[in-house]
Amino acid sequence: MKEDPDVVCLYIPLMKELNMSWHDIKLCSKTELYGILSAYSTYETMHAFDGYTAEAVGQMAKNDPSIHGKFARSLDTKRRMEERVGVKREGPKGFKEALGIK
């Protein structure tokens, strides 16, 4: 059982990260459990850089360049989820506004 992929990749993360009990896990189908774990992973990706500005991420990326990719993935995931729930983003109304010219 210690090398069973379901235990290592599904049950342990559900119990550790989401505080699900063994009883709760046994009540759900495997499809539901994978869905819950996938949703949790998406949630973690979306909120990984909450509270950080682009400048702060740039400073952190000086020591670890992979942070830029993680930050971009986080912003992309957040944008996709906001689109799916109907959050509208206001873009610039024209060319001058996009350049910051009034």
How many CB atoms are located within 10 Å of the residue 72 CB?
A: 12
Residue 7's pLDDT band, with cuts at 50, 70 and 90, is: confident
Q: Is 65 exposed, middle or buried (0-12, 13-18, 19+ CB in 10 A)?
A: exposed
> How far apart are alpha carbons 87 and 78 in whole angstroms?
11
b/e code 20-38 from CB counts within 10 Å (16+ = b): beeeebeeeeeeebeebbe
Judge whether 25 and 11 are in contact, CB under 8 Å: yes
Question: CA 100: distance to chain centroid?
Answer: 31
pLDDT, tens digit, 9 for 90 and up, residues 29-83 = 989 999 998 999 999 999 999 999 989 999 999 999 999 999 999 999 999 998 8
pLDDT of 1 strictly over 90: no
